[in-house]
Amino acid sequence: MVFQQHQRASALIGTFALLAVPSATMLLPRPAVAVPLRSTFSGPSALPPQVPYQSSQPVAPQDYTLGPGDRVKIEVFKVSQYNLETQVLVDGTVSLLQAGRIQVEGLTLDQASALASRRYGKLLRYPVVTVTLLTPRPIRVGVAGEVTRRGSYDLSVNAELNNTAPVQLPTVTRALKVAGGITQSADLRRVQVRRPQANGGQQVIALNLLEYVRGTRPREDIMLRDGDSLFVPTADRVTLSESYEIATTSFSADRIQPLNITVVGEVYRPGTHTVESNVRVEQAGNPGTPRDAFNQTRIYPTISRALQTAGGIKTLADVRNVKLRRMTQSGQEKEYNINLWKLLQEGDQKQDIILQDRDTIVVPVAKSLPAGEMSQIATSSFSPDQIRVSVVGEVGRPGLIEVPPNTPLNKAILAAGGFNQNADQKTIEFVRLNPDGTISKRQMPIDFAQGVDEQKNPALRNEDVIVVGKSRLSTVGQGIGQVFNPLGAIVNVFRAIFGGN
């Protein structure tokens, strides 16, 4: 009898002491960044109401909700024979010792503690029940929109196995990473988290992750709950300045991987190419090859590297009006205007936009280009290191030679060994294949002291042909030789027959 009274008094003292202390949830500031592992309720009190989110001000979850796969510890104060460690079953229930099953799926730790207290109230007087989360289950979220791999993902929950450590739920940016990262068409200003509600409805939480990236709104990266859906919409318009912000976030798609890019127009090798991070074209018309493999992980595939992979741009490329066509995840095509001339003149690196898989680059032909501008384009990073021209006829080493872009005609003749003794050293024939497929030929004088001049000494383009003819004197000499050659042959025959010298 005395023992029973003492036990009842101890239970009452424990109950009043617990009621006098604010709950763990009340001690957390809002918005919270962690969820308590342990919560205690005593007595047959009513379940605490859920605190709804304010969609205009998204915050972190107030508490962890239990579900199948969670491993919990249930302790009954002063009645240790009822303590146990168990797992929430597939049907969302846990089995209490001597008290049967209770449905805990969707309940917070506070609510589960209160429900267990009510159930043990049928066996004990004023029971004090504590539900502790030992091992949290992965939470399942759906990710859709402008991400690399859309679908449903199980995200692990970070938690230390002690009674005071918080549960760190997966955040929005972590879910985006798991889904392969955002694409270049993502609208980070209007990211949505769609959260199912107990009444069957859906709560939409609007997030501005662009401001999170810029550091002005760190709380935009909220924690997710089981059953959340994350949606990244397609941007109506993405500026070049934002393109680098999107591409260099921690949750962007991996740009270091090779991309399938289509390049058409004024390039030497139009078509679909696999673009590496760092490529360079050594000869016009050859595909670009990767350089410095050890630095690949620090370089992004950009338009200039795609142009290199496609053999480099041609001399008459209109770099002011390059087009980038991009397919969004919704199947729509977006087009961007790229001015690579600003990159060359002003160092505007925003023009060298970072690419994503299946982009198409269109390089138009320029209607007219000043000679000085053509020279700058020919020596740009997206032009070949070498061009190939043919020097045929009366030179020391006739054939195909490689020279740097902007090499003047007279220098190419010197690179081919210069005139030989039979060459016409005053005039050559210059042949050029035009962009429209026609061929132009013209005679021009040669002066090795002449600087670059479009009429007298033009800068060469890939596949130009220089023909060096014979001089008149050498032509006459060859004619005379052809006349006397038959007589010489007859003399040789007589010598063979009669043995003469």
Domain with 42 in it: what CATH number?
3.30.1950.10
Q: Are residues 20 and 131 in the same domain?
A: yes
CA distances from 199 to 50, 52, 57, 202 (A): 12, 12, 21, 9
306, part of any domain: yes
490, part of any domain: no
485, part of any domain: no
Contacts of 497 (CB under 8 A, 6+ apart): none
pLDDT at 48: 35
476, part of any domain: no
Q: What is the pLDDT of residues 27-76, one digit of tens each?
A: 233 333 333 344 444 443 333 333 333 333 333 334 677 888 889 999 99
Structural domain including 228 reads 140-247
Intervals of the chain under pLDDT 70 = 1-63, 158-167, 238, 254-257, 277-299, 371, 435, 474-501
pLDDT at 47: 35
Q: Are residues 179 and 116 in the same domain?
A: no
SS3 57: strand
Q: Are residues 159 and 110 in the same domain?
A: no
Element (H, E) at 132: strand 128-135
Q: Are residues 407 and 462 in the same domain?
A: yes
252, part of any domain: no
User: Could you tell me the strand order of the sheet in which 333-338 lies?
Assistant: 271-275, 259-265, 360-363, 322-327, 333-338
487, part of any domain: no
- Alpha carbon 398 to its chain centroid, in Å, reads 47
Q: How many domains does the chain have?
A: 4
Answer yes or no: are the C-beta atoms of 331 and 185 closer than 8 Å: no
The residue among 215, 247, 279 that closes a domain is 247
For the record, the structure tokens of 140 come out as 């399942």
pLDDT at 439: 87
365/243 Cα distance (integer angstroms)? 26
Q: Are residues 56 and 132 in the same domain?
A: yes
Q: Are residues 421 and 459 in the same domain?
A: yes
Q: Are residues 219 and 286 in the same domain?
A: no
The residue among 137, 153, 171 that closes a domain is 137
State pTM to two decimals.
Answer: 0.59
Is the peptide bond preceding residue 218 cis, with omega within 30 degrees of 0? no
491, part of any domain: no
Counting beta carbons within 10 angstroms of the beta carbon of residue 261, is it exposed (0 to 12), middle (13 to 18) or buried (19 or more)? buried
Element (H, E) at 467: strand 465-468
Q: Are residues 310 and 321 in the same domain?
A: yes
Q: Are residues 26 and 127 in the same domain?
A: yes
Q: Are residues 395 and 339 in the same domain?
A: no
232, part of any domain: yes
Q: Are residues 121 and 185 in the same domain?
A: no
Q: Are residues 49 and 81 in the same domain?
A: yes
Residue 408 sits in a domain whose CATH number is 3.10.560.10
pLDDT at 164: 47
